[in-house]
Amino acid sequence: MNGFDTILVANRGEIASRVIRSARAMGYRTVAVYSDADAGMPHVHQADVAVHIGPAPAKSSYLDIGRLIAAARDSGTQAIHPGYGFLSESAAFAQACADAGIVFIGPSPGIIEMMGDKAQAKARALAAGVPCIPGYMDADQSPERLALEAESVGYPLMIKAVAGGGGKGMRLVAASTGLVDALALARSEAEKAFGSGAVMLERALMRPRHVEVQVFGDTHGNVVHLGCRDCSIQRRHQKVVEEAPAPGLDPALEAAITEAAVAAARAVAYVGAGTVEFLVEDGEFYFLEMNTRLQVEHPVTEMVTGLDLVEWQIRVAAGETLPLAQHEIALAGHAIEVRLYAEDPANGFLPQTGPVLKWDMPRGEGVRVDAGIEAGVEISTHYDPMLAKIIAWGSDRAAAQRRLVRALDETVLVGLRNNLPVLLDIVASDAFRDVRLSTRFLEEDVAASTDETDAAKLDALAAALFYDRSALAFAPALRGWRSRPWGAETLVLSRDGERIVTSVRPLSADSYEVGADGEEITVAFHPGRAAKAMSVEGAAMRPDSAWQGEELHLSLFGLYRIYAPAARLQRKAPEDGQTVAVAPMPGAIQSVRVTRGERVARGDTLLILEAMKMEHPIPAPVGGTVKAVLAHPGEQVRQRQPLVEIAPDEEAAT
């Protein structure tokens, strides 16, 4: 038996909070680690002890094995839980723990190395009789060999990083013309995320379901599964919605999938929590990969089994047998989870940064929230943009869906744009209700459906709020307005950097007639209620809003807008902005692909911006000649900062 009484969580955010909660409930002392950027995050004060491990960049903190081992030693830790992401699937980290006499709460270094290498894992699965997708996974990584094998595999195909997962180092290639650029991006991303740029090629299944099986093994030779999950709804190969059990599967197919998952785990004498992932299409299933860690979506399995998977991990790491045998594991009801991201659905889902000004979690029977944020924390560019997971359980799928819709309606996140409206669109959609699930769900069935026809109402609300605040003398920059009873006054605001002109005419102490976007809209406040409620054109509503200095963050109707006094508008990029490529978000310039005087076509990649653990190619907005390169590799840039200026071709200019 491995004796330990203190557990260090080598991670951050919601998973760190999650592990701390379970470990403390079991009576263990807990230790959190944090970087400069995370000093104010919830997990830091939730643990018994917190240890600073370095500056914000992950490579200098959460990915620095030496710093983590030192933190464990300094805090008297005997065991480390890696969470997921970062070093959770690092054989080197597991080995460093073993060398330091620290229990690694996860599989052995050998199993991590074997199953973390997608090529080796695929070979093991084939040897165990598990069907796999045809492809190329040999050691020869030369561009010539990969191009030749790509022709053999056929297009469309998937490039995948041999190490790691989570959508990093993955690219879909539709035709041979896109192979070279896709390989470069996949390899670079994989190298940064996993320390290896090796890739494999697989035939692309175009409308598969993504079905996975939670498995558990112990050191006594026992292996069980905890049922199937469906994780088909994805964006950029990262899961957005997960549910358990996987709905609509033929019972015989489900049994075959779970049997194959257990066989794959047994083939390597697997120990700890693991997930065997499959693609399912036309009644056939194919091994995808095995994740040798706890998954982000583990709460849906916990909700339908009533088990604490972190507790199981700790017990297995302590040398105990699995708490239950296969015949003792029962599933009840249905659970659905969505991932809340800091990203802008209206702008290509680009990651967002900034302060969390307001955060209210939903509550109620069958609702669970795993969050790594609280009001006042700052979301930086250094880490993944996932903020929280919202989960709902019901006696059946329909009940879980209803509860989740209500929970999302009750969730409040203000301070930075997020995907909450899109999550609501997904789980409330007919396509989701009818189980029309595939990895192309977001492309084919549900898109961001923010209704711009409501923009005028949002502008009217903003104008009324600014006028109301000015009347109370809370905004010195707006004191130039002179409130003349019953007379309309012009109010000029910035809306996400765009100048808008409104008029506000008081009707009473708490109501206004606002002219916005060519409409006359009546706005009334109801300040006597628990939170400031409003009505627009007589319809009651409660917008989510927060002030950040003189800026107003306002969210309603699925729209998110940031308003400011027009006088405080910052100077925009050059007026001929269509000829200037700008940074879509804060980040670091990873590489520059062009030089001054070089000719480019519209859409050509000018440079690569690295932000929130992903690489974002910045395309040329117009064809022409590079007039100036305004950023250099390694430079930290702000959102909307000009990066490359192009002198357009005569045709492009007209």
Q: Give the β-pairing of 6-9 and 29-34.
A: parallel
Predicted local distance difference test score (pLDDT) of residue 364 = 94
Predicted local distance difference test score (pLDDT) of residue 538 = 86
- In CATH terms, the fold of domain 210-450 is D-amino Acid Aminotransferase; Chain A, domain 1 (3.30.470)
Predicted local distance difference test score (pLDDT) of residue 477 = 44
Helix (H, G, I), strand (E, B) or coil at 75: coil
Instruction: Report the sign of the C-alpha dihedral through residues 493, 495, 497, 499, in that order.
Output: negative
Domain ranges of the chain: 6-105, 134-203, 210-450, 453-568, 577-653
**First CA to last CA across the chain, in angstroms?**
76
List, in sequence order, every residue forming a beta bridge with 618; answer none if it has no partner: 607
Can you tell me the distance from the alpha carbon of 61 to that of 16, in angstroms, rounded to the nearest whole number? 15
8 Å CB contact between 626 and 594? yes
Concatenated DSSP letters of 479-523: TT----TT--EEEEEEETTEEEEEEEEEEETTEEEEEETTEEEEE
Q: How many CA atoms lie within 13 A of 163 on its CB side?
A: 23
- In CATH terms, the fold of domain 6-105 is Rossmann fold (3.40.50)
Predicted local distance difference test score (pLDDT) of residue 471 = 58
- Residue 86, by phi and psi: left (phi above 0), alpha (psi -120 to 50) or beta? left
Which stretches of the chain score pLDDT less than 70? 1, 164-166, 446-453, 471-487, 527-532, 567-578, 613, 650-654
Q: How far is CA 208 from CA 103, 164, 204, 284, in A?
A: 39, 21, 9, 10
The CA R_g of the chain, rounded to the nearest whole Å, is 26
Can you tell me the distance from the alpha carbon of 111 to that of 395, in angstroms, rounded to the nearest whole number? 37
8 Å CB contact between 425 and 367? no
Q: Strand order in 614-619's β-sheet?
A: 614-619, 605-611, 587-592, 636-637
Concatenated DSSP letters of 229-284: EEEEEEETTEEEEEEESPTT--HHHHHHHHHHHHHHHHHTT--EEEEEEEEEETTE
Predicted local distance difference test score (pLDDT) of residue 444 = 81
Q: Which helix (H) or strand (E) holds 74?
A: helix 65-74
Helix (H, G, I), strand (E, B) or coil at 309: helix
List, in sequence order, every residue forming a beta bridge with 354; answer none if it has no partner: 379
**Long-range own/partner contacts, residues 478-487 (CB < 8 A, 24 or more apart):** 478/550, 478/565
pTM: 0.83
Predicted local distance difference test score (pLDDT) of residue 487 = 66
Pick the CATH number of 577-653 from 2.40.50.100, 3.30.450.20, 2.102.10.10, 3.90.1150.10: 2.40.50.100
% of the chain residues with pLDDT over 90: 68
What contacts 272, CB < 8 A, 6 or more positions away? 105, 106, 107, 216, 217, 292, 313, 316, 317
Q: Give the β-pairing of 79-81 and 103-104.
A: parallel
List, in sequence order, every residue forming a beta bridge with 644; answer none if it has no partner: 581, 629
Predicted local distance difference test score (pLDDT) of residue 537 = 86
Can you tell me the distance from the alpha carbon of 172 to that of 237, in angstroms, rounded to the nearest whole number? 10
> Structure tokens of 369?
């929230």
Q: What share of the chain is helix, strand, coil (3-state, %, to 5)?
A: 30, 35, 35
Sequence letter at residue 476: P
- Give the architecture-level CATH label for domain 453-568: 2-Layer Sandwich (3.30)
**Helices and strands, number each (H, E), in the chain:** 17, 40
In terms of residues, how long is the chain? 654
- Kindly report the backbone phi and psi dihedral angles of residue 296, in degrees, each rounded to the nearest multiple of 5, phi listed first: -55, -40
Spell out a b/e string for 580-590, using b for 16 or more CB atoms within 10 Å of the CB, else e.
Answer: bbbbbbbbbbb
- Answer whether 6-105 and 577-653 agree in fold: no
Q: How far is CA 650 from CA 204, 403, 437, 624, in A?
A: 40, 57, 47, 8
Predicted local distance difference test score (pLDDT) of residue 139 = 86
8 Å CB contact between 385 and 612? yes
Looking at residue 224, the DSSP 8-state letter turns out to be E
8 Å CB contact between 322 and 216? yes
> DSSP alpha helices (H): ranges in 287-343?
298-305, 309-317
Would you give the distance in Å from CA 609 to the centre of its chain? 18
Predicted local distance difference test score (pLDDT) of residue 650 = 64
Can you tell me the distance from the alpha carbon of 623 to that of 651, in angstroms, rounded to the nearest whole number? 9
> What's the CA dihedral at 32, 37, 41, 46 to 10 degrees?
20
Give the count of beta carbons closer than 10 Å to the beta carbon of residue 539: 8
Sequence letter at residue 75: S
Pick the CATH number of 134-203 from 3.40.1180.10, 3.30.1490.20, 3.40.50.2000, 3.40.50.200: 3.30.1490.20
